[in-house]
Chain A
Amino acid sequence: MIAVRRQIELETFFLLVIGAGISLFFVTYKNNYQPQFSIASSMPSMQVSTEAVAPKITISSQISPDGSKKLIMKTTQNNDNTATYDFSTANENGTNEKLIFTEVVDSSKNMTVPFNAWSPDDQYFFIQEDSGDSKNIFVFKVTGKSFADTQIYLDASSIFKEANTGNNFSEATGWASESLIILNTKKQDNTKGPSYWLEVPSKAIIQLSTEF
């Protein structure tokens, strides 16, 4: 009686071992299975070629002081080592977008939208072009219309240079009023020079007694 019982226990044990072994085999096979010609495996090579072709685009914006408008700068890095900058204005919520200016520059230059770009009454804005140590400031009408001499923008740094003040333009900090841009300068010995106003409608350069 005892021998029969021991035999049944052994059979049960072996059956359990075999069942577990078969299960393990199938589980292992399933987990290691990879289709040979799957779509997923072929995607990485496609992605690499796509990245090489598609230009890199970045978008930044600056809201006007009253929060009603924004100036959008779209930068496209081209494959020929240049970048295309598109400047447009829009309402705060992105509606009514209007392209104002497009410029292609080489890699030695960089364009930015300064924090104080907007005039206080939202009628003008300026952008900045950095080239090594020098900066250029371009002033636009928000309407996109030209200034009196058919120029689409005023080159503030060139206007300052033509005024022959004896100082060198260094930066534009912002707007002192609806039509006055504050320009800081450096003296010939590279120390801080006086500040000036650029009156946009008249293109006049006015020296200030106060430094900004």
Chain B
Amino acid sequence: MSYKKTKKTLWHYLKIYFFSLFLGLIIFSVGSFFKPQTNCANSKTCKSDLVVSIDNDVTGIFQGRKVIPPKIDLAMNILNPPVLGVHVSSGKKHIYVDLSTQTLYAYEGDSEIMQALISSGKWGRTPVGNFSIWQKLPVTRMAGGQGQDAYDLPNVQWVMYFYNDFGFHTAYWHNNFGNPMSHGCVNMRLVDARKLYAWVDAPTSDQLGTAVSVCDQFKEPNVCIQSKSIN
């Protein structure tokens, strides 16, 4: 049995090259198609619209009812930030959210510097897990949900995203804190969110933002019970 040695032409190598490119393209397309969908508390802005947005002359919608947003004077708000934990300058910052008691705790090292009632997910689940603040926005527009649960809320202030579009922010359309009331985000009173926003650190090029732990149950000072953590 003899083996006939054939000479490889340039065309042969080009065929292999283009076939590899084609195969790679197919794998990429199929992989993208079956990519698991990202959970979004805010289905409108989850796609692209994570920007500062002020809409002072429009009405909002929540639970099928009109909502009048507060007028925003961004310059005033930024010029007068409240100061939280001014005397506590040491220790790592960490926010804990206790879903069982609907309470937020902010720690700097071992010192608790803030405790506030919140409203977590009622029409969508607030993700349990360990995250970090990845973006801060002083004011933005939030929209999402479907049917009766559809919402469109301009001028939502002091937004601090910690996982995809899930974040801390004010809720001017209700005052039912201490009870679940959101589509997955963590609602806070304006008076509390403003203080937290001034204290929270956004990420930098060499450091993550303030740590956030969402717990099924939290026991002070640092026991976070997470039965179904997503990470």
Q: Tell whether A and B belong to one assembly.
A: yes
Which residue numbers of A lie inside 8 Å of B, CB to CB? 63-67, 115-116, 118-121, 173-178, 182, 210, 212
B190 near A175: Cβ-Cβ < 8 Å: no
Interface size bracket, B side: 20 to 34
Residues of B within 8 A of A175 (CB): 174-176
Q: How far is the CB of A130 from chain B (nearest CB, A)?
A: 18
B95 within 8 A of A: no
Alpha-carbon distance A178/B172, docked complex (angstroms): 9
Does A178 lie within 8 Å of B68, measured CB to CB?
Answer: yes
Partner of B190, one of A65, A116, A178: A65
**Chain B interface helix/strand/loop/mixed:** loop
Beyond A64-B191, A116-B176, A177-B65, 4 additional contacts (C-beta under 8 Å) are A115-B117, A174-B175, A176-B63, A182-B179
1/0 per residue B163-180: CB within 8 Å of A?
A: 000000000111111110
Across the interface, do A115 and B178 meet the contact criterion of CB distance under 8 Å? Answer: yes
Cβ-defined contact, A174 with B70, below 8 A: no
Cα-based distance from A67 to B192 in the complex (angstroms): 9
A-B contact pairs, 24 of them (CB 8 A): A65-B172, A65-B175, A66-B70, A66-B189, A66-B190, A66-B191, A67-B189, A67-B190, A115-B178, A116-B178, A120-B174, A173-B179, A174-B174, A174-B176, A176-B174, A176-B176, A177-B62, A177-B63, A177-B65, A177-B174, A178-B173, A182-B179, A210-B122, A212-B176
B67 at the interface (CB under 8 A from A): yes
Over the window 29-63 of chain B, the binary record of Cβ atoms lying under 8 Å from chain A Cβ atoms (1 yes, 0 no) is 00000000000000000000000000000000011
With A115-B117, A173-B178 in contact, do A120 and B191 touch (Cβ < 8 Å)?
no
Which A-B residue pairs are the 4 nearest by beta carbons?
Answer: A67-B191, A174-B176, A175-B175, A65-B189
Q: Which residue of B lies closest to A120 (CB)?
A: B175
CB proximity of A40 to chain B, nearest CB, Å: 40
> Are A116 and B175 neighbours in the complex by a CB distance under 8 Å?
yes
A177 touches B178 (CB 8 A): no
Q: Are the CB atoms of B191 and A118 closer together than 8 Å?
A: no
Give the CA-CA distance A67 to B193 in the complex, in Å: 11
The closest CB in chain B to the CB of A122 belongs to B175
Q: Which among A65, A121, A177 has the greatest number of chain B C-beta atoms within 10 A?
A: A65
With a cutoff of 8 Å between Cβ atoms, the chain B residues found around residue A176 in the complex are 63, 174, 176
Chain A proximity of B171: nearest CB distance (Å): 8
Report whether A212 and B179 are in contact in the complex, using a CB–CB cutoff of 8 Å: yes
- Give chain B residues whose Cβ lies under 8 Å from the Cβ of A118: 175
Asked if A182 and B176 sit within 8 Å, CB to CB, the answer is yes
Within the assembled complex, what's the spacing in Å between the Cα atoms of A212 and B194? 26
